[in-house]
Each structure stands twice: as structure tokens, then as C-alpha cells.
Amino acid sequence: MQAIWRLSAADLAGLIRERKISAKQAAEAALSRLEAVNPALNAVVDHRPDEVLAEASAIDAALARGDDPGPLAGVPVTVKVNVDQQGFATTNGVTLQRELIAKVDSPVVANLRKAGAVILGRTNTPAFSYRWFTSNLIHGATKNPRDPGLTPGGSSGGAAAAVAAGIGHIAHGTDIAGSIRYPAYACGVHGLRPTLGRIPAWNASSPERSIGPQITAVSGPLARSIGDIRIAFAAMTQPDPRDPWHVPAPLEGPAVAKRVLLCLRPDGLKIAPEIEAALRDAGERLQRAGWQVEERDAIPPLREAAELQTRLWLADGYEAMLALAEREGDPGALACLRGNREQAQGIDLAAFSGLLTRRATLTRQWQMFFADWAVVLMPVSGELPFADQLDLRDDASFKRVWRAQMPQIAIPFVGLPALTVSTGLVGRIPVGVQLVAGRYREDLCLAAGEAIEAGGVPASPIDPVA
């Protein structure tokens, strides 16, 4: 049998339930892998081996009693440092929060535990989870295991780097403007941004979030296979009364015609030739799997949605965010906030109301669009994964990064689910595609994702490349 840490989460959970492998053996294998490769990556920034082994032993004890520990029985998973895990600091990559110790698990962590997962460690994020690059003053920089000269993505850069390198079988991430989808793209794995309300969220350690993040930020899974995305997503979605936005929608919706709209250049986005090739290849894979694929440029607005999402995300409490970032002194967070000052500053009640009113109109347009299409196949980014820290080089580079990320930023504003599917490598640079569906139709993204995945994906887990 291959090394335990290489197994899929689904296969590992099955072997543990059948008692062919113990949860403790799986935990020991995961800890050994972490110790072997994490020093080169800095993906996991906090973990306690004794607690990991104790959690695994509890799973083994439950199985010995004849209890069912859950669909993720004994599977080692990682959790991002911006959600509460009891007894750990919810740093969000910020020195100012190094003493912010969670007294209880956030709903998503609680749900992972209920499903039988073993929490292996906590993964890195940029300061305040603001960037598509992962470095901060408290935990340092995370490296991309496929090429240390590339960004691992952000803000769930530690999550993507960890799962790509075999540190855990599933990673938890969060996404307000691409923070699950872009790290998955950059590290050559898959990542799902669910519909708002799917996965309950709340950090008891922190003040209530402002309305912008409340209605656009979500948690979701990153994994090396779409099958593992499926089981992690199902585990994370269990109800929790602490989240007023949670919606107990069924995981499978009604059958629809398998129609895919291939949009290469949404709203005139410039894309690299390698990205066009990846999208056309994904479309061909879908056609071979029985999906009807049509290429069109006409889709509801994305560029406007991306501009409004940036405004909603950053303008809602901008001055307070900027003051915190200045106290922290993190160059990445300051670049993000100062670089978007014109959009974020000076919003008044009328402008804020108008923004939310327009959100309803754009969301309606997208919902009506999805009455005719199962999914849209589009770019994750206009460019291949960026050189690490590109956004800090100069003003032109900062604007280049934000311009290329438009297809990611737009999706949260209109409340849609989206899935990054990694499809291949250009040299050693990952490339992939984004699938978008109507609200609560993650099942359609996953079905299309499985068809694309069947045509080939980058090998993983991998040893970090020097």
C-alpha cells in the first residue's frame, strides 16, 4: 500500500472505519510528513502533536466501541489561522492578535470534528487575509511547493501549499475575493467556494463582522481530488445556530440539462495563451463526458460586480481597517488598502445603499442566466500564477494583479458558488479553470469538475521543489 499520507481522504476514512489502518497511524504519518516538508514551506504555523495524537486515539476508541465516528473518520485536516480553534490563537496573520485565544471552536471546525476529522495544524494567511500572496510579520512567508518563486496564492496560501505537499488530506480555507480559488490554482489543487450560508461561520473570539464580509465571505475546502472536496464540503455544511446566515439547502439540486457556457474572456478580460488552451481543453473534456459546451462572450456583468465587491469588502469600515494595518505595519496589507483607497474611501449611506441595491439587480441577472445553463466555464485569473510578492514591486504591478483577478473577485458579490479545477502544468507552473453555477448548485460545479478532472490533473501530493 502507498504511504498513508498520500491516500485520498475518502480512501483513508474507509480504511480507518474498516480498522485496516488506525487513526493514530494516520496521525503519525501526517505528523511525520509535516515535520519532513513544512520547514521548506511554512504552510502550517501552529500545531501540537500530542493533541493530534489524542484526537486520533479518541477516533480509534470510538471505533472499538462500535460507534461511527463520521465520514471523515480519522482523516488529518488543516484549518486556517483566521477561524477559531479552541485553545489556539486566531491570529489572522496579525501580530496584534497573537494573544487572541479561542475559547470554543468556530462552527466549521466543530463540524469537521463532528465528521471525525483530526485537526492536524493551522495554516498561514497574509495579514488580515487581504492578499493573493501569503506573508506576514507574525508567521513569515509561505512558499509554493511546486515552485518557490511563485506565490502559493492567498489568502488561503498555507492551506493550498499544505494539501499540495501532502500535509493533511483536506484543507480548510476562506474566500471573500478568491482566497480559496486562487491558492488552489497557484498550487495545483482543487478548491471550492460555496454559496453564502452553506457552511456556518462565526468567530466568538472576535467582534461581529461588518455587513460586507458577512454577506460575501465563506469557508470551503481545498483538496487533491474532487471526491475529497465533496466529502469535506458535506461535512462542513452541517447546521449551527450560531450563524444567522446559514441555509439548510439540500446538497443535490434537481436534474438540469448538462449545458456549459465556455467564456474565455469575460467582460473583455485579457488572458494568457496558456489559460485559453486550458479552458478549451477543459471544454473538450466536458464534451467527451457528455456535456453540451457552447462558446460565448455574452454573460451577465462580472467587471462591474468585481469593482463593487472591492468597494463593499474594503469600504465597509475602511478607515478602521487602515488604522489597524498601519499599527501592524504589514507591507502587504498596507499595499492592498492604500492601493484601493480611491474605491474604498468616502462611501456614505446613500452610496452604500445604492451598492446593495445594484447587488440585487446583478444577482437576479445571474440567477436568470442560470435558468438556461448548468455551469459557466471561465478563467480563474487572466494570468498564470504570479511571481511571489509581485504586488509589492510597484504601482503598475499592483494594478496588474488586481486586473487579472477580476473573475474571482466578482463571484462573491453575486453570491454564486465556484470551483477551481487544476488541469495541468506549464513547465512547473500550475494552470486550471473556474466553474461557476447558480446559488446552492455546488453539485453542478462538482459534477463538471469530476468530468474535467478525469482528463488529467497535476500529480499530487508532491515534495517541495527547491
Q: Quote the pLDDT of residue 346.
A: 73
Catalytic status, residue 156:
no
pLDDT band at residue 451 under the 50/70/90 scheme: very high
Three-class SS of residue 206?
coil
Render pLDDT for 24-73 as a digit per residue (tens, 0 to 9): 999 999 999 999 999 999 999 999 999 999 999 999 999 999 999 999 99
Determine whether 57 is an active site residue. Answer: no
Angle at 156 between CA 212 and CA 22, to 5 degrees: 125
Q: In the chain, pLDDT over 70 holds for what percent of residues?
A: 100
Cell 474605491, located at residue: 343
pTM to 2 decimals?
A: 0.98
Can 155 be counted among the known catalytic residues? yes
> Across the chain, what does the average pLDDT equal?
97
Instruction: Judge contact between 108 and 89, C-beta under 8 A.
Output: no
Least-confidence region, from 44-58, 281-295, 306-320, 426-440 = 306-320
Which of 106, 135, 156, 179 is catalytic? The answer is 179
Strand order in the sheet with 429-436: 44-46, 118-123, 76-80, 170-175, 218-223, 190-193, 418-426, 429-436, 375-378, 259-262, 292-295
Report residue 12's pLDDT band, with 50, 70 and 90 as the boundaries: very high
Residue 359 parent element (H or E):
helix 349-369
315-372 residue pLDDT tens: 888 888 899 999 999 999 999 999 999 888 878 899 999 999 999 999 999 999 999 9
Catalytic residue (choose from 22, 106, 129, 155):
155
Question: What domains are defined for the chain?
Answer: 4-453 (3.90.1300.10)
Tell me: pLDDT of 1 over 70: no
User: Which one from 24, 80, 135, 460 is the annotated catalytic residue?
Assistant: 80
